[in-house]
Structure 1
Amino acid sequence: MAVEYKDIHDFSAKELERLFLSVEWSSGHFPDKLVTAMKNYDTVFSAWDGDKLIGMICALDDGVMTAYVHYLLVDPEYHGQTIGRTLVDMVKEKYKDYLRIVLVAYKDETHFYEKCGFKIEDKSLPMCITSLWT
């Protein structure tokens, strides 16, 4: 399998629904909202196995100083193939001249992000208002 990486913002609702639900994220129940969200992100890198969307990373930025990674997800069938790491590296390369790249990680995923060069911040905690359950 040769994974192809793309820098695109247009996805079908079905592609996004399948990928997000494959990782059991509740946002997958809102595929039409996801289609709109992808068009609004500053950065969307995706991974494809043929015509199957198998991973993506999305980020927002202020244009010069700070980028915020919002989504990183890889279909569980493709875990262990460095797809997530490659997507993170693509974001790190794009934002290499920025002063900060920020993300919020689930506690059981922090080890992955630490391997990618992120550090847990001692002086801050993520906070949110949400109606999503994952």
Structure 2
Amino acid sequence: MDMIIEYKINAPVTTEQFLRVLETSTLGERRPVHDRARIEGMITNSNLVVTAWAGDELVGIARSMTDFYYACYLSDLAVSRDYQAVGIGKELQVLTKKQLQPGCKIILIAAPSASTYYEYLGYKSNPRCWVLEP
């Protein structure tokens, strides 16, 4: 696939664009895509959003919450199925890291099927993660 992908930092993303990339990636299966208010809150209140665009179509997103100095929680990493396996997800993470100060950690909760992907990129597994469900 011959494509030109443009990456942007904190570019405006509409709720509809965010929903579309979630639904066209595997991440939509684990996000509240039927709760528009939650999806809108998720995109509106993120303080670091790195996006990948094919023309005016959002095809990838790395959505994070961070203090930029100590910890960055990479909450969503999604790439539309038609654009997967060409390095977009990796580039979104590289660009996320470049926005952070030296020494700032990126923390994420991986989908079970993505564990080997993150290990390949240099992430270390941490058994001390705890989640308090609502």
Map of 1:71 onto structure 2: 76
Does the C-alpha gap of structure 1 residues 41 and 110 become closer, same or farther in structure 2, counting only changes over 3 Å? same
Does the C-alpha gap of structure 1 residues 84 and 127 become closer, same or farther in structure 2, counting only changes over 3 Å? same
- What CA distance in whole angstroms lies between the structure 2 residues aligned with 1:32 and 1:5? 26
SS at structure 1 position matched to 2:107: strand
Q: TM-score, normalised by structure 1?
A: 0.84
For 1:22, give the aligned amino acid. T
For 2:133, give the aligned amino acid. I
Deviations 1:17-53 (A, max 9, x none): 2111112334222344323322321100011111111
Map of 1:129 onto structure 2: 133
Task: Return 5+ residue gaps in structure 2 as ranges.
Answer: none
Q: C-alpha displacement at 1:96, in angstroms?
A: 4.8
Map of 2:10 onto structure 1: 8
For 2:7, give the aligned amino acid. Y
Map of 2:93 onto structure 1: 88
8 Å CA contact 1:10–1:38 kept in 2: the answer is: no
State the identity %: 23
Task: Return 5+ residue gaps in structure 1 as ranges.
Answer: none
Map of 2:105 onto structure 1: 100
